[in-house]
Amino acid sequence: MKTSAIAIILAGVFTAGAAAADDRSACTNVPQAHSHVTSRAHAHCGTPVRKQPIRINCYRGPWRETIWDHPQGSFVDDLVTFGYDYANAEAIATRICKDENLVGDAEAQKTALLRAIAQTPPGH
């Protein structure tokens, strides 16, 4: 039995109202995953950026099936720090860790997390 962990840096715009005043129809307010780490934040489409590392950290059971799989505390804590309440953070992390299609595929886990965040941003 082991844990699997990957880390992603999410950078995205999580503001409302002010961005709507400008014509930024080509821009998107969904988080962007970056495979690089920079020492300073950078903006997409000239908007403010919020950077937050999120460690996708799942306990893996001994089988391909996800019978024992569950998120480690650091995964849930990172989502709480990102802005989710505990219940929603745990629900998102559990959904990622329990999805048999994501087992052993770090890129698919990252994509699934970004999709979950885009569908239900923090505070909604």
| 105-123 pLDDT per residue, tens | 999 999 999 999 999 999 8
124 within a domain of the structure (yes/no) = no
Q: What is the count of structural domains for the chain?
A: 1
pLDDT of residue 77: 97
The residues, ordered by sequence, that sit 6+ positions from 42 with a Cβ below 8 Å of its Cβ are 11, 49
Short-list 71, 97, 72, 92, CA closest to 82: 92
Cβ-based burial of 58 (10 A; exposed 0-12, middle 13-18, buried ≥19): buried
Its domain, for residue 96, covers: 2-119
pLDDT in tens, 57-97: 999 988 878 889 999 999 999 999 999 999 999 999 999 99
Q: Are strands 2-12 and 50-60 parallel, antiparallel or unpaired?
A: antiparallel
Q: How far apart are CA 97 and CA 83, in angstroms?
A: 20
Short-list 56, 42, 55, CA closest to 13: 42
C-beta atoms surrounding 117 within 10 Å: 22
67 within a domain of the structure (yes/no) = yes
Buried b (16+ CB within 10 A) or exposed e, 65-79: ebeebbbbebbbbbb
pTM to 2 decimal places: 0.64
